[in-house]
Structure 1
């Protein structure tokens, strides 16, 4: 999920629409509302955020520090009228990158992915047993063969593997896949996606690597 912060509603709505076309959940905040939310939001909600996009605001230089108290997700500033002084000040405030408008949402996603790789010093893929998932949107592989999945199922598999070895709840998966403020989709849709994913994994692997326990959630691990 991408969080967009800007004092102009037209801007936040524009970005959330563009990210939606790319299949990425997002939400927009006014700066004051965001400052209050980021300090009080549940840890699970904060963990579902893939990147923060900071636009025009009187709080532009204070927000990155507030974010850093809660999250290590990439913080990208969007500058309408960039200058060397402004760019340096934004970096000093704690942002990870500064981009100039107009910028395509795919570029923002690519920059966020690059920042995450640098921050965590990991490769562009993660292996668990014979399963390999990628951080650049490609379909996963099983034993070296492409394992094509619909976008929602792929993102669920990526989320489970990113949290391998520990249980995640249906609510956490929903927040990561659909966004923490999506009221148009029922949370139970996650069960349908996971059921289809597990059926495909079982057919490919000969067994189901996803363990589920009622009220506790889902876990994927390799013994």
Structure 2
């Protein structure tokens, strides 16, 4: 989830709409309500925040201080007009990066991902056999070829890749895809998205890569965990049987 902090409602709504079009949940608040926002959100939900975008604020230093007291999520200052003085001011007051509008939200996501990689050694992409998954809004790739997915399914795949071998519950996936403050979408929709995603990946890869366990949740399987498709196993079994029969016949003839 992306959190936009700006005193101007029009700016907040504009950024939210752009992130949502890419499938990234976003919420917003003005700097005067930041303290209430941080008190209302739990530590578990705060972990889903990918970055804070800080625009026009009455007190930038205080806003950054309030955020830093709760989380180490990337802080990106967004400037309408930049000067060396403005840039240095934001870096000195705790910003991880400073960007100037106009800026595409894809660039913001890429910058946030780069900050996370520097701080927690997050990989720019995850390799899962023939499947390559990115963390910056790009579609995944299979055998080096782009594999387009609807934005919700892509976000689910990115989230599962980001947590490694751990399992994610339906609620955790929902919070990652729709945002912790979303109230209008039923949580059950996650299962429909996952079902469609699994079907597409299975058809393209010929193997199951999303493992699900009732009450435990979902996870992406490592290549070593991926079982061969049943048809492939049956073909190999038949091939082995034919070879054994041929060897038996040859032995009898000799």
Question: TM-score normalised to the size of structure 2?
Answer: 0.76
**Following superposition of structure 1 onto structure 2, how do residues 76-87 of structure 1 map, counting pairs within 5 Å?**
76-87=76-87
Preserved contact between residue 106 and residue 136 of structure 2 (Cα < 8 Å): no
Deviations 1:89-108 (A, max 9, x none): 22122111112334333332
Structure 2 unaligned segments of length 5 or more: list them.
Answer: 226-254
**Following superposition of structure 1 onto structure 2, how do residues 32-43 of structure 1 map, counting pairs within 5 Å?**
32-43=32-43
Preserved contact between residue 19 and residue 105 of structure 1 (Cα < 8 Å): yes
Question: TM-score normalised to the size of structure 1?
Answer: 0.86
For residues 76 and 144 of structure 2, the distance between their equivalents in structure 1, rounded to whole angstroms, comes to 34
C-alpha change, 1:149 and 1:103, in structure 2 (3 Å) is closer
C-alpha change, 1:43 and 1:35, in structure 2 (3 Å) is same
**Following superposition of structure 1 onto structure 2, how do residues 10-159 of structure 1 map, counting pairs within 5 Å?**
10-159=10-159
Which structure would you say has the larger Rg? 2
Report the RMSD for the aligned CA atoms in angstroms.
Answer: 2.4
Structure 1 unaligned segments of length 5 or more: list them.
Answer: none
Bigger mean CA deviation after superposition, 127-136 or 186-195: 127-136
Alpha-carbon offset, residue 40 of structure 1? 4.8
Q: How many residues align?
A: 223
Partner of 1:165: 165
Name the structure where helix makes up a greater proportion of residues: 2
Alpha-carbon offset, residue 35 of structure 1? 2.2
User: Which gives a bigger RCO, structure 1 or 2 (Cα 8 Å, sep 6+)?
Assistant: 1
Question: Secondary structure of 1:173's partner?
Answer: helix
